[in-house]
Structure formats: structure tokens, C-alpha cells
Amino acid sequence: MQALTNRSKIASNKKMSFMERIYFPAIVKGMFITIRHFFGKKATINYPEQTREFSQIYRGMHVLKRDDEGRERCTACGLCAVACPAEAITMVAAERKSGEENLYREEKYAEVYEINMLRCIFCGDCEEACPKEAIFLTDRIVESEYERLPFIYGKDRLVEPVDLNLRIDISARQTENVLKFKQNKRFAHNK
Ligand code: SF4
Ligand code: SF4
């Protein structure tokens, strides 16, 4: 029968030698490759005992920031949720009551604020959209879990502590360009 393409190969019927039949050369060759990698530079590290150095602007777990007086900066405007391509953010807004001025900076605040870390793709769009400098991504890792529910992070895990010594440092993310961008009134979310 005539071949339709020229891709066919003629199979060899050559008899295997004794050495080939006991696979000795192939085993030696395989061992040589293994030993070469054994003493070579390793591409992996012993995590979690060892960790790699993160970039200063690594995008990991979020933080909801407080202002200098310890008040929550978030005003539940919803811009982060609108900007989120993964629809990972949900919130419930509430009105600040008299006497709560030391807790919330604005008259409206997020009574509930949740991020579904399973949906989040750590793109940083929420951080860029926020007009109140309230949400930032950090170099903290979202811990692994066996269930889905614990991946929904509420305010208890997102809002930073009031204690100044325990605040989450995000100064490395506040480069000159970022600050300039956030003050530019040409962009709707900065107005
Ligand atoms: S980092 Fe991106 S995906 Fe994650 S919550 Fe923010 S906007 Fe949504
Ligand atoms: S954009 Fe900022 S202020 Fe508005 S809801 Fe999100 S975190 Fe809060």
C-alpha cells in the first residue's frame, strides 16, 4: 500500500545484543544522570524551614489599615469590590454612631468585610482602586487549609492591630509613583 505521507519510519528488526537485553548500559546511563543532579545546584529549597526572599512588592495576603490614631480607614465605598476581577470581596456598610469616632475614620464604615482567598488572584487591583489607602497586599502568605470556609477572611484577620508595634508595614509599596497616581484627580476613583 502506498504511504499517504513521508512521516512513516522503517522499524528495525535488529536483534538486541546481550548487554542491551540486560539493560545494563541504560541503567548505568540513568544512574549517571541521577548522580549528576544529586551533586548539582538544587532548584528547590526545604520550605517551610527555609524561605526565599520576597520582592518588596510581593502580592500576598491583604491588610486593612488603620490611621495614625488607630481608626479603621475603610469607608465601605465598595470600589475595591467593583475593581476586583475575581469578585472575591464582599462587604456590608454601616453608619458610624456617636461615640465611635475613635474606631472608624469616616462616617460610613465596613461592618462586615470579607475576602475569599480561594477566588483572589492577588492582582492588586483592590489596592490600586482604594481612595482611602485602606487596603494593601502584603508579603504574608495565606495559610493552607483543609476546608473551603476558612479561606473566607473577615475583618478579624484582615484589619491590622491597633498597637503601633504590631502594625503591618506597607511603606515599601508606597513608592513615589504610587502616591502620585493616587493623588491624580484625572482618575475617577481618586476624586
Ligand atoms: S488582589 Fe485582585 S483578586 Fe484579590 S481581592 Fe484584590 S482585586 Fe480581587
Ligand atoms: S476601596 Fe478602600 S475604602 Fe473603599 S471599601 Fe475598599 S478598602 Fe474600603
Asked, for residue 85, whether it belongs to a domain, the answer is yes
| CA–centroid distance, residue 2 to ligand 1 (Å) | 60
State residue 31's pLDDT score.
96
Report how far residue 130's alpha carbon sits from residue 83's, in angstroms, rounded to the nearest whole number.
9
Higher pLDDT residue, 176 or 83? 83
Asked, for residue 2, whether it belongs to a domain, the answer is no
Answer whether 130 contacts ligand 1 (Cβ < 6 A): no
| CA–centroid distance, residue 185 to ligand 1 (Å) | 23
Question: How crowded is residue 179: how many other Cβ atoms within 10 Å of its Cβ?
Answer: 11
Q: Partners of 44 in the beta sheet? A: none
Asked, for residue 141, whether it belongs to a domain, the answer is yes
Answer whether 86 contacts ligand 1 (Cβ < 6 A): yes
Torsion sign over Cα 33, 39, 44, 48: positive
Which contacts of 48-53 are long-range, i.e. CB under 8 A and separated by 24 or more positions? none
What is the number of the ligand closest to the CA of 88?
1
State residue 183's pLDDT score.
78
Asked, for residue 47, whether it belongs to a domain, the answer is no
Asked, for residue 158, whether it belongs to a domain, the answer is yes
State residue 179's pLDDT score.
78
- pLDDT higher than 70, residue 189: no
Look at the chain and report how many structural domains it folds into.
1
Q: Which of 125, 127, 138, 173 to mutate to test the pocket of ligand 1 (most atoms within 8 A of CB)?
A: 125
- pLDDT higher than 80, residue 190: no
- pLDDT higher than 90, residue 51: no
Quickly state the pLDDT bin for 36 (edges 50, 70, 90): very high
Answer whether 70 contacts ligand 2 (Cβ < 6 A): no
* DSSP result, 40-76: S--S---TTTS-PPPPTT---SEEE-B-TTS-B----
CA distances 19 to 15, 26, 27, 28, 164, Å, are 12, 9, 11, 11, 73
Asked, for residue 45, whether it belongs to a domain, the answer is no
State residue 130's pLDDT score.
92
pTM: 0.76
Comparing CA positions, the residue from 75, 77, 145, 156 lying closest to residue 114 is 156
- pLDDT higher than 90, residue 162: yes
CATH number at residue 179: 3.30.70.3270
Quickly state the pLDDT bin for 59 (edges 50, 70, 90): very high
State residue 92's pLDDT score.
96
Q: What percent of the chain has pLDDT over 70?
A: 97
Domain coverage including residue 68: 62-190
Report how far residue 50's alpha carbon sits from residue 161's, in angstroms, rounded to the nearest whole number.
27
Asked, for residue 182, whether it belongs to a domain, the answer is yes
Question: How crowded is residue 29: how many other Cβ atoms within 10 Å of its Cβ?
Answer: 11
- pLDDT higher than 70, residue 85: yes
Asked, for residue 181, whether it belongs to a domain, the answer is yes
